[in-house]
Amino acid sequence: MTLQRGDIESSVAALGTLQPYRYVDIGSQASGEIRRITVKPGDVVKKGQLLVEIDPSVQQARYDVDRSTLVSLRARLRAEQARERFAAQQFERQRRMMADGSTRDADLQDARASLDASRAKIADLVAGIDGALATLKGDDAQIGYTKIYASMAGTIVTLDAREGQTLNSTYQTPIILRIADLSTMTIWTQVSEADVLKVRPGMPVYFTTLGASERRWNGTVRQVLPAPPNLAAPSADQQAGAAAQAINTGKVVLYTVLFDVLNPDQTLLPQMSAQVFFVDKTARDVLMAPLSAIAPVGGSTDRYSARVLVGDSRVESRQIRVGVRDRINAQIVSGLAPGDRLVTAVHQARAADHAFQW
């Protein structure tokens, strides 16, 4: 073959999964039957928009009971305050009479004890009212939880509940739907332990998807996670869990690498598969030769030998130096020139096999 110029790219290939950069799982802190769901998957919502209504009957009944308790405590407090004023008057009367010597010590002590007991009862009722107010505030919050609003603007990507379904939030918050901002996507890429040391933050990267293999999205490595995903334990991060489900097959250890891309037209969707290439080195418009036609010299990584056809029949061996390499070609740094004819293979043949047949 005649040597020509071209582009060579040294890269690390891996598989990845697309996830939204920002998302939130909307759950319910209130138990009850879902009365109404105002959205469906694919809807674009604004922050603060009503999403779900839950039957507030149980929460309203609890609120009414606790409000009645508060009213009762306040009535008891007013009655006790009246008794406290009377006890204070009685104690003051006994104190004046004691100064005149017209009462007994026991009567003064009884009046003092009645006043102290009344004041203690008032303090107890005030504490009870404070507790009832806190309980009522919690009840009011529970009623508020029966209406669920969007905590961020985005797209409804999943909806896991139906109208008429009963939710139980006693032990675990049930997830109803997920809102995601699809304007920026994160690619959770799994890189084998043999290649992960070649990947570093700030490294250029690009990927293609199965549905649009002719289009290339470009980005920059944001983070290389220091440990492989733990499949044995539940993941707190749904993105990491989703990425981990498709990797670590067999005995190959894979590490997670993250990078982000803008998605203004929302062509990229959650859970899409991506063929990812981390670009290590790039050489543009350079002389290149196929790796299959050159042979390494000793243990060197950049010294090779090549066979060049000189004239029509003479094969000459040359020492060359290479630069950037991919899986097929290598950049020729020295030893060869454009137009040189590289011998890719030599086949032995017998002259008798090519004799003219009459």
Confidence class of residue 235 from pLDDT cuts 50, 70 and 90? Answer: very low
Helix (H, G, I), strand (E, B) or coil at 132: helix
Question: Torsions phi, psi of 232, nearest 5?
Answer: -75, -35
In a domain, 228, yes or no: yes
Supply the pLDDT for residue 210.
Answer: 87
342 vs 142: CA distance, rounded Å: 79
Q: Quick check: 34 pLDDT over 90?
A: yes
pTM of the complete model: 0.70
Q: Quick check: 162 pLDDT over 70?
A: yes
Cα distance from N-terminal residue to C-terminal residue, the chain: 34
In a domain, 176, yes or no: no
Compare 37 and 106 and report the one with higher pLDDT: 37
In a domain, 135, yes or no: yes
Q: Quick check: 257 pLDDT over 50?
A: yes
308 vs 318: CA distance, rounded Å: 7
Confidence class of residue 242 from pLDDT cuts 50, 70 and 90? Answer: very low
Domain at 326, CATH number: 2.40.420
Q: Are residues 223 and 297 in the same domain?
A: no
In a domain, 97, yes or no: yes
Q: Are residues 189 and 232 in the same domain?
A: yes
Per the prediction, the chain carries an average pLDDT of 87
Compare 244 and 329 and report the one with higher pLDDT: 329
pLDDT, one tens digit per residue, over 133-161 is 999 999 999 999 999 999 999 999 999 99
Bridge partners for 307 per DSSP: 317
Q: Quick check: 321 pLDDT over 50?
A: yes
Domain that holds residue 324: 285-354
Q: Quick check: 274 pLDDT over 90?
A: yes
Q: Are residues 66 and 111 in the same domain?
A: yes
- Helices 57-100 and 105-145, packing angle to 10 deg: 160
Strand arrangement of the beta sheet that strand 147-149 belongs to:
147-149, 50-54, 32-37, 166-167
Q: Quick check: 179 pLDDT over 70?
A: yes
pLDDT, one tens digit per residue, over 38-86 is 999 999 999 999 999 999 999 999 999 999 999 999 999 999 999 999 9
In a domain, 29, yes or no: no
In a domain, 261, yes or no: yes
Q: Are residues 263 and 302 in the same domain?
A: no
Phi-psi region of 164 (alpha: psi -120 to 50; beta: other; left: phi over 0): left
pLDDT, one tens digit per residue, over 293-302 is 888 887 778 8
Q: Are residues 112 and 130 in the same domain?
A: yes
Q: Are residues 61 and 134 in the same domain?
A: yes
Last residue of a domain, one of 145, 168, 199: 145
Q: Quick check: 171 pLDDT over 80?
A: no
Q: Quick check: 279 pLDDT over 60?
A: yes
Q: Are residues 275 and 293 in the same domain?
A: no
Last residue of a domain, one of 95, 117, 145: 145
Supply the pLDDT for residue 236.
Answer: 40
In a domain, 48, yes or no: no
Q: What is the total count of domains within the chain?
A: 3
233 vs 241: CA distance, rounded Å: 10
Lowest pLDDT segment from 113-122, 187-196, 281-290, 342-351:
342-351
- Average confidence (pLDDT) over 1-30: 91
Amino acid at 82: A
Cα R_g (the chain), whole angstroms: 40
Helix (H, G, I), strand (E, B) or coil at 170: coil
